[in-house]
Structures are given as structure tokens and as C-alpha cells.
């Protein structure tokens, strides 16, 4: 995913290719490697945790540990997409703590109807997306976390229902405060 970013020490000089463990300096080759390692790690048992920010970071670390030294660590530069700037790095920790406190206060969305779960999960995901804690891999960590959250709340999930383009459009709408499309997608994804 292409970002608007400040001059980025995580990239190879003069490029927008992120430094990576395989030392791939070609963007397409890195995308392919990243995707293949992501799928491999996503098939493995995921780190367990308390559905909190450390757990969220552990998920990102698990999924991207083969590709990036900084897997699981928050970004330190400002980034945005399509004209939307995400949370400034100095506020990431406090914002993520606030969001996960909200989730805990809501009993991790346990005991809700499908529609109510979907609406609240859409809100949590929209908030996490607006923070965008990592330099890369946010979307995939969001969906992995959503799966864990849904299963913890007693739903079964069908990842195949999630069309990547529709997820992205819904996520962009949520950035401007309209979480309805995201909630509808989540409602269709859980049973
Ligand atoms: N213009 C935008 N405004 C807000 N959010 C956006 C925008 N464009 C994309 N997103 C969201 O950003 C997330 C993608 O972030 P990132 O590229 O770090 O993740 P990824 O896992 O590497 O990529 P992808 O989700 O495309 O596989 C997705 O949730 C996507 O819907």
C-alpha cells in the first residue's frame, strides 16, 4: 500500500521501499515476499493475549516478523493515505490505550447480537485505522484482530466474504465518521 510519508529512515535511501530482512530493494519483489510470509504466519496459531495493545502489537509482530526488524513496534514518522493523515506518532501509545480501554469497558463485545457486535467492532476498527500504529501491515493486522475478537465473542467468521476493495472503501468512509458500511461488512462476515 503506497503511503504519503515524511523522509523515511526505514526505507532504502532514495526509494520508498522499506528496508527488509530479505534485503529486497524492488517494490514488487518485496510485496510478493511480504504477502507470502504473511499468509504463512497467518496459518500458524496466533499469539494469545488480553485483547489489548500489547496483544495487538504481538499479532503484528507474528505476522511480519520474517520481513521487518520493527515488526510489532509502532512507527516513528507521520504517514497518511489518500489525503488522510493518521495519528501523529507521539500520540500512538495513548490513543491505542484509550481504544483498548474502551473495548475492555465494553466487555470485549461479548454477549451482543450480530448487529450490535458489528456496529461496535466497526467503531473499534475505525479508531484503530485512524491511529494506524504501524508503518506497514495495518490492514492485515486489523482483519486478523477482528477475527480474534469475533471468535472470542462466540461468532464464527468467514474471511472469504470480505472483499478487499469494499473493506478499503468502508474504512475510508469510517475515517470521515461514517461507520455504517464497515458495520454492514462485519455483520456479513460473522455467524
Ligand atoms: N485513504 C484512506 N484513509 C483511511 N484509511 C485508509 C485509506 N486507504 C486505505 N486505508 C486503510 O488502511 C489500511 C491499510 O493499511 P496498510 O497499508 O498499513 O496495511 P497493509 O496490511 O499493509 O495493506 P492492505 O490492508 O492493503 O493489505 C486498510 O484498513 C485500509 O482500508
Q: Which residues line ligand 1 (CB under 6 A)?
A: 1, 81-82, 84, 129, 136-140, 142, 167-168, 171-172, 175
**Confidence class for position 161, pLDDT limits 50, 70, 90:** confident
Cross-strand bridge partners of residue 12: none
User: Which of 38, 168, 179 best tests ligand 1's pocket when mutated (most atoms within 8 Å of CB)?
Assistant: 168
Range of the structural domain that residue 112 is part of: 3-189
* Closest ligand 1 atom, residue 125 Cα: 29
Query: In angstroms, what is the span from residue 1 Cα to ligand 1's centroid?
Result: 7
What is the distance between the alpha carbons of residues 11 and 3, in angstroms, rounded to a whole number?
A: 12
Number of structural domains found in the chain: 1
Collapse the DSSP code of 149 into the 3-class scheme (helix H, G, I; strand E, B; otherwise coil) and give the result.
helix
Residue located via cell numbers 467503531 = 123
> Between 1 and 116, whose confidence is greater?
116
ipTM > 0.85 for the complex: yes
Q: Which residue is it, cell 510519508? A: 5
Question: Would you say residue 72 has pLDDT above 90?
Answer: yes
What DSSP letter does each residue of 4-56 carry, written as one string?
A: EESS-TTBPTTSSPBP-TT---SHHHHHHHHHHHHHHHHHSPPPP--SSHHHH
Can you spell out the DSSP letters for 54-103?
HHHHHHHHHHHTTT-TTTTS---S-EEETTEE---GGGHHHHHHHHHHHH
Which pTM value belongs to this model?
0.96
CATH of the domain at 44: 1.10.3290.10
Q: What are the tens digits of pLDDT across the range 5-56?
A: 557 889 999 899 999 999 999 999 999 999 999 999 999 999 999 999 999 9
Nearest to 133 by CA among 27, 17, 55, 37: 55
Task: Give the bridge partners for 127, in sequence order.
Answer: none
Contact 86, 80 (CB under 8 A): yes
What pLDDT is attached to residue 159? 78
Amino acid at each position: 500500500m503506497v503511503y504519503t510519508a515524511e523522509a523515511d529512515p526505514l526505507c532504502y535511501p532514495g526509494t520508498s521501499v522499506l528496508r527488509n530482512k530479505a534485503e529486497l530493494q524492488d517494490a514488487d519483489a518485496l510485496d510478493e515476499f511480504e504477502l507470502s510470509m504473511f499468509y504463512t504466519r497467518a496459518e500458524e496459531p496466533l499469539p494469545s493475549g488480553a485483547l489489548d495493545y500489547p496483544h495487538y502489537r504481538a499479532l503484528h509482530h507474528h505476522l511480519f516478523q520474517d520481513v521487518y526488524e520493527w515488526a510489532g513496534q509502532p512507527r516513528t514518522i507521520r504517514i497518511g493515505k489518500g489525503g488522510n493523515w493518521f495519528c501523529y506518532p507521539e500520540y500512538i501509545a495513548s490513543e491505542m490505550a484509550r481504544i483498548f480501554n474502551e473495548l475492555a469497558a465494553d466487555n470485549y463485545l461479548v454477549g451482543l447480537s450480530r448487529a450490535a457486535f458489528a456496529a461496535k467492532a466497526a467503531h473499534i476498527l475505525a479508531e484503530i485505522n485512524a491511529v494506524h500504529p504501524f508503518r506497514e501491515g495495518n490492514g492485515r493486522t486489523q482483519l486478523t484482530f477482528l477475527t480474534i475478537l469475533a471468535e472470542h465473542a462466540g461468532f464464527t467468521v468467514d474471511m472469504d466474504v470480505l472483499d478487499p476493495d469494499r473493506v478499503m472503501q468502508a474504512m475510508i468512509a469510517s475515517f470521515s465518521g461514517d461507520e455504517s458500511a464497515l458495520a454492514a461488512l462485519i455483520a456479513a462476515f460473522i455467524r
